[in-house]
Chains A and B, each alone.
Chain A
Amino acid sequence: MAEHPLLRVEQLEVRRRHGDATPLVGPLSFEIGPGATGLVGESGSGKSLTVRALLQLLPPSLQSHSRCMQFDGHELSTLRERQWQALRGADMALVMQDPRHALNPRLSIGTQIDEALRLHARLPRAERRERVLAAMHEVGLPQPRQLWTHYPHQLSGGMGQRVMLAIALINRPRLLIADEPTSALDTHLRDQVLELMMHLADAHGMSLLLISHDLPLVARHCRDVLVMYRGRLVDRCAAAALDTATSPYTRALWHCRPSGDTHGQLLPVFDPAQMDPVA
């Protein structure tokens, strides 16, 4: 890993504002370096809450706290909301799971991509238009000029996800966070969109934090993997070493992939008693 990680988080916790004081997530500490990092874990393990906490996008009923959260050497935990607004979308961008809900149904595609640019760059309208069209072209949206006036409901899921990608990439962020960016898509579209995202992140030198249920996919595309279980980080390893993982939970996750080989057999069952969380 580089001498100076892009994002360094220590003792991050997410709790409810009222009532139960046990953290929903954390405490967790991790670093995100260059290239792609995978974040995996079963449903409800706290992956989404973690990335929302990284972007200060938690719902009002939740709050996060961390001892230290450094982005490119700058401390984030002391930022005010205005400074967060300047950071979000410009330096750290988010791709969400389902374009059908994440895109605003009342605004045209062009307007929604343009907004991301308008919020962070003072550019003349014509130049913004050029950049939006270029971004649409870059993510492989066909006929960007016609598409500009389309609305989200007129797009297929794959196109919607490309629009979301264009929104995230248009300001050339340093870190792209993708929360299950392909789980709302058909299998054959999944790889296409993911390949595109990997390719663009690579081409622009962005770091990528990829959240997914899909371990083989993460193993194929990422450099490092963080494994979460019940709000805690239980393992971190090189993606290439997933099949030889030593953590019992990671091993169970890895071997739980149903496939042609294991057809008709019982998949292994994970015993939480074997667990000792790291971090």
Chain B
Amino acid sequence: MPAPRWFNANTAWRMLGSSALSLVLTLAGLLAVTFVMSAFSPIDPALQQVGDHASAATYAQARHALGLDAPLPLRFAHYLIGLCHGDLGISTATGQAVAGELREVFPATLELSTIALLISAIAGVGLALLSARWPGSWVDSAIRVISLLGSSVPIFWLGLVALALFYAHWHWAGGPGRLDDAYEYTIDMPTGLVLLDSWRSGMPGAFASAIRHMLLPALLLASYVLGSIARLTRTSLLGELHQEYVTLARAKGAGPGGILLRHVLPNCLGPMLTVIALAYTNLLQGAVLTETVFARPGLGRYLTNALFYGDVPAILGATLVLGIVFILINGVTDMLVRLLDPRLR
């Protein structure tokens, strides 16, 4: 089909351009904040390196080697140039490059939270549709209970209970870690995504083991945002049902299910995407806790260790990566919302 007459490539580009501009500005803000945090952190990396008993000369030498004696603007420039080369500094705890360590742990976190997002978005929107179709039925109560649990019970507590019941007691799910021990040290992890890597390893049982271990943390993490996705989507669906176009659809002879799916749902895409994007950022934060409870390698455990050791470059590197992901999620959502709405295209 030829491009419709109204489709104006200029407007589309201008729109994407303005989204991209705000994205870049937010990113610049994030960089400035992480830099300031590192520059004024109470932990002195030079002191950390040379120790409390070093002489003043050794200390000054270390400061110079780390570039800490340069004026702030110059240090910021160095910081940016380093970032462009993918340099996030050296971890003071492990002596390894932070960027390399993050590349190993971050995919795991992204994998866990994305799977949790898929579960919670599908289940949440499904529940919302059911409850908008039959308002006042059991679905409403289910949504209320789930959102109450998800928002008020601490995730680590729920995690421990789930492990005690489903792993220790019933043996339905895998225990802590991302794989059974038999596979943990035998499988190659080139991508860091455990489902993908265990699938590609070709080892029978490895993939199943990965799934069994993914089950509890993913469900738990999903329950954390499921309630809010369901509740907000439901509100938005019910609000649309008063619109005139719903009356016209009924007058055409459409049934309530068809109206909900074909007419109301498309009109709720904007709010739904926004809610889901917000849930995604919440899930990434929640993943940090979940990983700690379930002893899964990932950004969460990395960050916990870094905080414990006062490893400033590692903390800031992880913060920066999370920040960039948040900004990207919001930016992409913003563009999607606009692209999906014919009135804004």
Task: Tell me the A residues contacting B by CB distance below 8 Å.
Answer: 52, 55, 57, 59, 81-82, 85-90, 93-94, 96, 98, 101-108, 115-116, 119-120, 146, 149-151, 153-154, 164, 167
Question: Cβ of A88 and Cβ of B252 under 8 Å apart?
Answer: yes
Given A107-B263, A116-B252, A153-B343, 13 more contacts at CB 8 Å? Answer: A55-B251, A86-B253, A88-B251, A93-B251, A98-B244, A101-B243, A102-B247, A103-B245, A104-B249, A119-B252, A119-B258, A150-B6, A151-B6
Within 8 A of A (CB), among B234-267: 242-245, 247-255, 258, 262-263, 266-267
- The residue of chain A having its C-beta at the shortest distance from the C-beta of B258 within the complex is A119
- A54: shortest Cβ distance to chain B, in Å? 11
CA–CA, A104 and B240, complex, Å: 11
Residues of B within 8 A of A167 (CB): 248, 252
Instruction: Specify the chain B residue showing the minimal Cβ separation from A143.
Output: B5
Enumerate chain B residues within 8 angstroms of A98, measured Cβ to Cβ: 244
User: In the docked arrangement, what's the CA distance between A146 and B2, Å?
Assistant: 9
Identify which of B245, B252, B255 gathers the most chain A CB atoms within 10 Å of its CB: B252
Chain B residue with the shortest CB-CB distance to A51 = B251
Please give me the residue from chain B that is nearest to A170 by CB atom. B252
CA distance A119 to B249 in the complex (A): 10
Size of the chain B interface, CB-CB below 8 angstroms: 26
State A88–B254 Cα separation when bound (angstroms).
8
12 A–B contacts, CB within 8 A, in A order = A57-B250, A89-B254, A90-B253, A98-B244, A101-B245, A102-B244, A115-B249, A115-B252, A115-B254, A119-B258, A150-B5, A153-B342
A-contact 0/1 string along B21-52, CB 8 Å cutoff: 00000000000000000000000000000000
Q: In the assembled complex, which residues on chain B have CB atoms less than 8 Å from the CB atom of A106?
A: 263, 266-267, 269, 341-342
> Complex Cα distance A102/B6, Å?
21
Cβ contacts under 8 Å, A82 to chain B? 255
B1 adjacent to chain A (CB < 8 Å)? yes
B4 CB–A CB distance under 8 Å: yes
Please tell me which one of the listed residues A88, A101, A149, A151 contacts residue B250 in the complex, with CB atoms under 8 A apart. Answer: A88
* Pairs of residues from A and B, 5 with the lowest C-beta to C-beta distance, nearest first: A89-B253, A94-B251, A101-B244, A89-B252, A151-B342
Task: Enumerate chain B residues within 8 angstroms of A104, measured Cβ to Cβ.
Answer: 245, 248-249, 263, 266-267
B266's closest neighbor in chain A, by CB? A106
Taken together as a complex, chains A and B put the C-alpha atoms of A102 and B249 apart, in Å, by: 9
Task: Return chain B residues, CB-CB under 8 Å to A153.
Answer: 342-343
CB pair B248 A102 closer than 8 Å: yes
Contacts of A115 in B (CB 8 A): 249, 252, 254, 262
A96 touches B247 (CB 8 A): yes
Closest residue of chain A to B4 (Cβ to Cβ) is A149
Q: Tell me which of B249, B251, B266 has the highest count of chain A C-beta atoms within 10 A of its own C-beta.
A: B251
Q: In the bound complex, what is the Cα–Cα distance between A93 and B247 (angstroms)?
A: 12
Contact A149 B253 (CB under 8 A): no
Chain B's nearest CB lies how many Å from the CB of A82? 8
Instruction: Enumerate chain A residues within 8 angstroms of B245, measured Cβ to Cβ.
Output: 101-105
B258 contacts across to A, CB distance below 8 A: 119
Instruction: With A104-B267, A151-B343, A153-B343 as known contacts, state yes or no: A96 contacts B250, CB within 8 Å.
Output: no
User: Measured between C-beta atoms, what is the minimum distance from B233 to chain A in Å?
Assistant: 16
**Bound CA span A153–B5, Å:** 14
Q: What is the CA–CA distance of A185 and B214 in the complex, to the nearest angstrom?
A: 60
Instruction: Find A149's partner among B1, B251, B255 (CB 8 Å cutoff).
Output: B1
Once the chains are docked, how many angstroms separate the CA of A228 from the CA of B253? 28
Distance, CA A87 to CA B254, complexed state (A): 10
In Å, the complex CA distance between A200 and B48 comes to 88
Q: Is B253 a contact of A105 with CB atoms below 8 Å? A: no
* B266 cross-chain contacts in A, Cβ below 8 A: 104, 106-107
Query: CA separation between A130 and B6, bound complex, in Å?
Result: 23
Inter-chain contact A89/B262, CB cutoff 8 Å: no
